[in-house]
Amino acid sequence: MILVIGATGTVGREVVAGLTAAGHRVRAFTRAAARAGFGPGVEPAEGDLARPETVRAALAGVDGVFVLSAGPDAAAHEAAVAEAVRRGGVRKVVKLSSVAADEPVVGAYGHAQADAERAFARSGAEWTALRAAGFMSNVLQWRASIAAEGRVYQTYGDIPRAVVDPADVAAAAVVCLTSEGHGGRIYRLTGPEALTAPEQAAKVARLLGRPLEYVEAPPEAAARAMAAGGLPPAFAAGLLDALADPDPRRGGTPLPTVQELTGRPAGTFDAWLLRHRGELDPRQAPAR
């Protein structure tokens, strides 16, 4: 049995699908099991990372666990998961991390990811960290401004990022969960090309067949938007520090890791856009 924490997220759902397609028993940890919409073969486990007793219950009888959490409490939540893993004797852990955890660590967000990795390293499990570059799906945050204004807004958009398809991250996680030789390993996952935000926006515009204006948003405006969305100022500042990091070693240089792990090339940004064009512009039909 493999437990997927973060099972209803963009990556988590792909991990669940990949594991079940490969014939593995899956338990999906979610705060609202009735609304999760998983099909046959997936055992729901309702709980909350803020309630460690629900994590311990979900880990019962589990051989491996995929861990994905987000938000300002993620580091504390994952430390609690690591302790539950230690107590429960879980054999294998795959944690979705970030290239922001690469040394030298920059900003509070990177330090939180690195701290969580160390917690799993101390858990006694065979642990693997998947340090992902930015996700291609992050451009979905442009939907509202595309529809309303024909504009996209981004902060530190001039920094090239080798954004990765979340499906590739999930495929790498499935490999690490279901095969041997990944204990103690840190894998850096990127897409096949480094793109600036204006270059991404130009690709979106070509796909949608309409002009889009790129607007470089100042960090202060991004911080206000994050605060309006409920993020604590310190956490928002940590995210902006990670975005501001120009070091190409942290997500700015394409790496072959996805192909090395999965046996197939990492998906391109263009291919991701084709699959998700209906989500970027409701006037367009999704690609089939």
Consecutive 10-residue averages of pLDDT for the chain (288 residues): 94 96 94 78 91 95 94 90 95 97 89 94 96 96 92 95 98 98 97 98 96 94 88 87 88 96 98 93 55
pLDDT at 23: 94
Q: Are strands 2-5 and 26-30 parallel, antiparallel or unpaired?
A: parallel
- CB-based contacts of 137, cutoff 8 Å, min separation 6: 10, 166, 272, 276
* Whole-angstrom distance, CA of residue 217 vs CA of residue 200: 15
pLDDT at 70: 85
Residue whose entry in the numeric block shows the structure tokens 């993620």 = 74
* Whole-angstrom distance, CA of residue 247 vs CA of residue 105: 11
Distance of CA 219 to the CA centre of its chain: 22
Q: What is the largest CA-CA distance in the chain?
A: 55
The domain 2-134+166-191+253-267 having CATH identifier 3.30.470.20: the answer here is no
Task: Show the CA angle centred on residue 36, arms to residues 30 and 125, nearest 5°.
Answer: 35
Question: Is the whole-model pTM more than 0.85?
Answer: yes
pLDDT at 287: 47
Task: Show the CA angle centred on residue 95, arms to residues 91 and 98, nearest 5°.
Answer: 160
How is the chain split into domains, by residue range?
A: 2-134+166-191+253-267
